[in-house]
């Protein structure tokens, strides 16, 4: 397919690389950051612009990968009648694009994407479209770059999915960041925890996370918990989170079959 990418951040970069690797032709990349857009254009052997008014009108698909809140602003004067136009945001309704084209939709990659990624990760794609042409075009494009999962998901389903994604990815990563800082302050090596992190993540491929829960909270080891809390007096933010999560783990109903 002939594709125009609007945006030059993380999602634009990774999706563009995947489109390129799948043999699609990226006709143009448009980004307000001229340096970032031209670096990606150079990588994909295409052209860039930082003006939406200069958009190439010969593509079949237009992917808008800009910050959620920038979408309404940047499409204000964009008119691409007859073209398939999709944004990449989970939590923004597809109707935001209804004045741009009669074939609008969403192309949401459910993956944590960073421009600096070394390899191209597996990316499940959740697509949506106002009509069959849009849906089938985006579905075909998704299958060309995803070996894992391609699923149609409307606005409500994507919004709900995004909440779960934030919890398992962004919140978990924030806990890693807090633990890393705690280790730094206490003279510990955070990297010693990597096998534990990997084992916990990989165990839930085969069992429910509620059954995989271990640790002092689920065992109700009160003395150990108190020792941890005493030591965390110097780390008030971490202490609050420790208390909140301990309470949350202990509030869940008794899940028989879990290990300790
Ligand atoms: N990263 C992920 O893991 C991920 C996964 C799935 C979906 N998404 C969705 O994909 C979209 C892009 O996310 P991202 O991670 O690629 O964001 P990002 O790396 O922060 O890039 C955002 C892009 O939007 C541009 N932009 C921001 N405000 C703008 C404005 N007012 N006018 C014009 N351009 C503007 C930025 O330009 P500058 O560089 O000049 O700031 C940049 O090109 C979002 O809707 C996000 O919800 C992200």
What is the whole-number distance in angstroms between the Cα of residue 94 and the centre of ligand 1? 16
Using alpha carbons only, what angle is made at residue 23 by residues 43 and 21, rounded to the nearest 5 degrees? 50
With a pLDDT cut of 70, the percent of the chain lying above it is 97
pLDDT at 255 over 70: no
Domain positions in the chain: 2-153, 159-251
CB of 247 sitting under 6 A from ligand 1: no
Q: What is the mean pLDDT of the chain?
A: 94
Q: Evaluate: CB of 14 within 6 angstroms of ligand 1.
A: no
Confidence (pTM): 0.90
- pLDDT band, very low/low/confident/very high, at 257 (cuts 50, 70, 90): low
Ligand 1 pocket residue status of 185, Cβ below 6 Å: no
Residue 252, pLDDT score:
76
Q: Which CATH architecture has domain 159-251?
A: Orthogonal Bundle (1.10)
Q: Which pLDDT value is given to residue 220?
A: 95
Tell me the pLDDT tens digit for each residue of 190-242. 999 999 999 999 999 999 999 999 999 999 999 999 999 999 999 999 999 99
Cβ contact 55:30 at 8 Å? yes
Instruction: Tell which CATH classification among 1.10.150.240, 3.40.640.10, 3.40.50.300, 3.40.50.720 matches the domain 2-153.
Output: 3.40.50.720
Inter-CA distances, 176 with 165, 183, 194, 209, 210, Å:
16, 10, 10, 18, 20
- Residue 176: pLDDT band with limits 50, 70, 90: very high
Q: What local confidence, expressed as pLDDT, does residue 225 receive?
A: 98
DSSP-assigned letters across all residues of the chain? -EEEEE--SHHHHHHHHHHHHTT-EEEEEE-SSHHHHHHHHHHTT-EEES-GGG--TT-SEEEE-S-GGGHHHHTTT---TTSEEEE--TTS-GGGGTTT-SEEEEEEE-S---TT-SS-----EEEEESSHHHHHHHHHHHHHH-SS-EEE--HHHHHHHHHHHIIIIIIHHHHHHHHHHHHHHHT--GGGGHHHHHHHHHHTTTS-HHHH--SHHHHT-HHHHHHHHHHGGG-HHHHHHHHHHHHHHHHSPP-TT---
- Can you tell me which atom of ligand 1 is nearest the CA of 89? 45
pLDDT exceeds 70 at position 254? no
- How many A from CA of 232 to the centre of ligand 1? 37
User: pLDDT by residue (tens digit) across 35-54?
Assistant: 999 999 999 999 999 999 99
Our answer on whether the CB atom of 11 is closer than 6 Å to any ligand 1 atom is: yes
- Cβ neighbour number for residue 128 with a 10 Å cutoff: 22
- The angle, 0 to 180 degrees and rounded to 10, between the axes of the packed helices 10-21 and 132-145 is 80
Q: pLDDT confidence of 121, banded at 50, 70, 90?
A: confident
């Amino acid at each position: 397919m002939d594709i125009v990418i609007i945006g030059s951040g993380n999602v634009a970069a990774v999706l563009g690389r995947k489109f390129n690797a799948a043999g699609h032709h990226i006709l143009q990349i448009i980004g307000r950051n001229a340096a970032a857009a031209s670096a990606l254009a150079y990588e994909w052997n295409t052209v860039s612009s930082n003006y939406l008014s200069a958009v190439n009108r010969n593509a079949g698909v237009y992917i808008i990968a800009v910050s959620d809140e920038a979408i309404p602003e940047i499409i204000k004067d964009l008119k691409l009648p007859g073209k398939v136009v999709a944004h990449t945001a989970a939590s923004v309704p597809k109707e935001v694009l209804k004045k741009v084209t009669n074939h609008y939709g969403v192309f949401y990659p459910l993956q944590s994407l960073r421009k600096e990624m070394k390899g191209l990760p597996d990316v499940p794609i959740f697509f949506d479209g106002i009509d069959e042409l849009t849906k089938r075009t985006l579905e075909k494009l998704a299958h060309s770059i995803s070996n894992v999962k391609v699923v149609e998901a409307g606005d409500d389903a994507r919004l709900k999915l995004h909440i779960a994604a934030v919890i398992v990815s962004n919140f978990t990563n924030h806990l890693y960041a807090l633990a890393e800082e705690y280790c730094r302050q206490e003279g510990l090596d955070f990297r010693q925890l990597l096998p534990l992190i990997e084992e916990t993540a990989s165990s839930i491929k085969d069992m429910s996370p509620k059954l995989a829960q271990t640790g002092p909270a689920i065992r109700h080891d009160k003395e150990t918990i108190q020792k941890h809390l005493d030591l965390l007096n110097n780390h008030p933010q971490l202490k609050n989170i420790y208390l909140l999560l301990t309470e949350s783990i202990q509030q869940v109903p008794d899940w028989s079959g879990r290990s300790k």
